[in-house]
Amino acid sequence: MCGRMAVTMPPDAMAQLFAAAPDNVMPQLPNYNVCPTNDVPIVTGDGQGGRRLRAMRWGFIPRWYKKLNGGPLLINARAETLAEKPAFRDAARTRRGLVPATGFYEWTKAADEGRDPWYIERTDGGVLALAAVWQDWQAPEGEVLSTCAIVTTCANASMQAIHHRMPVILEPDAWALWLGEQGKGAATLMTAAPDDLLQWHRVDRAVNSNRASGSALIQPLASDAR
């Protein structure tokens, strides 16, 4: 599962890291509370052998939707069924991307029946390259909207303490294969990250609101705070 994330790296730094040409219009960053339907940065192929850094709506819209809310909000795509689901199978073959994130959030149920948020990041402090699929959706009125979903898989042993799913996280040596630059075989990349790749800490429940913002959202919660 991946239902909220933080994206703080400047677009020019993302473009350099992924060797991608940036579009002129990018999401406003930093954003410590990226929510479904927000725009996210995503690296894709540019159709000419290069890479493009662009903005897409987080929430994949199948071609047959007649309106934005014409069906379930598809923010995640399960790796196990990615190639079979009608919504995703074409994108799985030809429209794969990488979403650069600083971290993401998951929730556990608390003793008071509330939801405790946890912020999850790389142990080395680096960027998380989240596997994604994308789709250009055309509204009946003619407007074209680029949309994407994060690919998820079963959580690794350590992550299962927080949630049973996790995003597929790709290391630099896998980026070219996932983006379709090295032929076939991308399906082999859709596995859980090593147990020691991620670390996490509990954060304030303020992030439970999609209106919350600011770097304080990712700060560790003091042991006596609630």
- The catalytic site residues sit at 2, 106
In one-letter notation, the amino acid at residue 216 is A
d(C-alpha 133, C-alpha 94), whole Å: 9
d(C-alpha 154, C-alpha 74), whole Å: 18
d(C-alpha 21, C-alpha 16), whole Å: 8
For residue 113 the two structure tokens come to 């029946």
Decide: residue 140, CB within 10 A, 0-12 exposed, 13-18 middle, 19+ buried: exposed
